[in-house]
Structure 1
Amino acid sequence: MLEVKNLNSYYGNIHALKGVNLEVKQGEIVTLIGSNGAGKSTTLNSITGLLKATSGEIWFKGKNITNIPPSHIVKMGISLSPEGREVFPELTVEENLQLGAYTRKDKKVIKETYERVYELFPRLFERKKQTAGTLSGGEQQMLAIGRGLMSEPQLLLLDEPSLGLAPNLVLKIFELIKTINEQGTTVLLVEQNASMALSIANRGYVLETGKVMLTDDAKALNNNAEVRRAYLGIG
């Protein structure tokens, strides 16, 4: 479904991605793990066109989407739930979700997507007329993911969905990610909580200073002594 080939991206003079290669197959949950500054968010921003790649290629469903404008990429079936949630605080829950569907025209299908999102996140339905700035951190995270789903993506990119959440909410968010995947959405997950990410993922990539250092199925990475020591705090 998604193939990233020898991707190089820069922030000014900083060489943030150094020849990154990765693949996401339809129906998978794939996770990118690594320490702060490893290039995880930069990879997602490059895929979505928010950061222009300097060289390399990004392919989605057989089409080269390298440096295509972000709005076109959303229309093609890729959606991002960004790090830090980035909800619009002055707008209501419903208005935030509505913005997620801005590329779509069919009102009947949009209504069905609202229903799907509210079914996944009943808390959002209860607060649909409430402004997003008054929601708790966990509710804002649900809203950010829900907004990402409003474009009916085939591939959902999640950037640090558990960041700043209480442990019980982290479990809830990861259960919901699994449900979203089981309903047919492929997921590429960037997550600081490597243990939780690997517990729901099919495969993983370990990034260090802009390079893929290791890739394997999630269970093997979870059992890898080096990964356990560096990212899971075990051993």
Structure 2
Amino acid sequence: MLSIKDLNTYYGNIHALKGINMEIEQGEIVSLIGSNGAGKTTTLGSIAGLIPARSGSVIFKGQDITNVPAHNLVKLGISLSPEGREVFPALSVQENLRLGAYIKTDKAKIKESFERVYDLFPRLRERINQSAGTLSGGEQQMLAIGRALMCEPELLLLDEPSLGLAPNLVLMIFELIESINKKHGTTILLIEQNANMALSISHRAYVLETGRISMFGKACDLANDPRVKKAYLGQM
């Protein structure tokens, strides 16, 4: 479904992504793990059209989408839930979700999207008219993911969905990510610093170190690799 080939991205003179290659098949959950500053968010930004790539290519369903503007990618079936949630605090839950469906004009289809998100996140239905800025961190994360799902993406990009959440909420968010994948067949690329949780729900994974892919393979194999255990899982 998604193929990244020899992708190079810069911030000024800083070479952030150094010729990375990745493949994501339809229906998979694929994790990209690595330490702070490794280039994980830059990778998502380059895929999503938010950070221009200097060279290389991003191919989605056979179409070259390298440096295609983000709003056009949504129409093609790619949606991003950004790091830090980035909800609109003054708008209600319902209004935030409606913005996620901006490419839709059919009222019946929009209603279906609302129901799909509210079924997945019942807590949001309970807070439908509440300002997003007054929600808890976990509820805001549900809202950010729900907003990204309103356009019914084929590929969902999740950037640090567990960031800043209490352990019980982290578990809930990861269960919901699994549910999105299994119930709706949504392909997911997950950027996550909680490598234990990421690998536990993923089919495959890549390890990013200082802008380069250093390891990749089945998530279960990486979870048992001594190098990954030592560097990212807190195990010796």
Judge same fold: TM > 0.5, yes or no: yes
The separation in 2 between residues aligned to 1:119 and 1:104, in whole angstroms, is: 20
Q: One-letter code of the match for 1:209? A: T
Say whether 1:170 aligns with 2:181. Answer: no
Partner Cα distance (1:14, 1:107) in 2 = 46
Q: How far 1:85 sits from its partner (Å)?
A: 0.2
The aligned counterpart of 2:86 is 86
Which amino acid in 2 is paired with 1:120? Answer: L
Q: Report what 1:159 is aligned to.
A: 159
Q: Which moved more, 1:157-166 or 1:97-106?
A: 97-106
Q: Which amino acid aligns with 1:222?
A: A
Secondary structure at the aligned position of 1:51 is classed as coil
SS of the residue aligned with 1:7?
strand
Aligned-pair CA distance for 1:89: 0.3
The separation in 2 between residues aligned to 1:229 and 1:142, in whole angstroms, is 31
Separation in 2, partners of 1:233, 1:106: 49
**Aligned-partner Cα distance in 1 for 2:228–2:16:** 22
Alignment of 1:19-38 (within 5 A): 19-38=19-38
Corresponding residue number in structure 2 for 1:205: 206
State the 1:7 CA deviation. 0.3
Deviation at 1:165, TM superposition (A): 0.3
1:192 partnered with 2:190: no
C-alpha displacement of 1:233: 0.4
Q: Deviations over 1:151-183 (max 9, x none)?
A: 110000000000000000000000000000002
Q: Any idea what SS the aligned residue of 1:68 has? A: coil
Match of 2:162, SS? coil
After superposition, where does 1:125-144 map in structure 2 within 5 Å?
125-144=125-144
Judge which range, 101-110 or 121-130, deviates more: 101-110
**What does residue 59 of structure 1 align with?**
59
Tell me which residue corresponds to 2:42: 42
**2:211 is aligned with what amino acid?**
G
Between the aligned partners of 1:10 and 1:98, the Cα distance in structure 2 is 34
Specify the code of the residue in structure 1 equivalent to 2:46.
S
TM superposition shift of 1:109: 1.0
Residue aligning to 2:223:
222
- Give the CA deviation at 1:106: 1.6
Q: How big is the shift at 1:110?
A: 1.1
TM-score, length of structure 1 as denominator length? 0.99
Number of aligned residues = 235
Deviation for aligned residue 1:12? 1.6
For residues 95-125 of structure 1, give each alpha carbon's deviation from its aligned partner in whole angstroms, at most 9, with x where no partner exists. 0000000111121111101001000000000
Matched residue, 2:109: 109
Indicate the SS of the match to 2:22.
strand
Q: Which residue of 1 is the match for residue 234 of structure 2?
A: 233
Q: Distance in 1 between matches of 2:110 and 2:180?
A: 17
Q: Which segments of structure 1 move beyond 6 Å, counting only runs of 4 or more?
A: none
Residue aligned with 2:49, SS:
coil
- Residue in 2 aligned with 1:124? 124
Q: With structure 2 as the length reference, what TM-score do the two structures score?
A: 0.99
AA paired with 1:119?
A: D
Structure 1: unaligned runs, 5 residues or longer: none
| AA at the equivalent of 1:225 | P
* Distance in 1 separating the partners of 2:136 and 2:12: 35
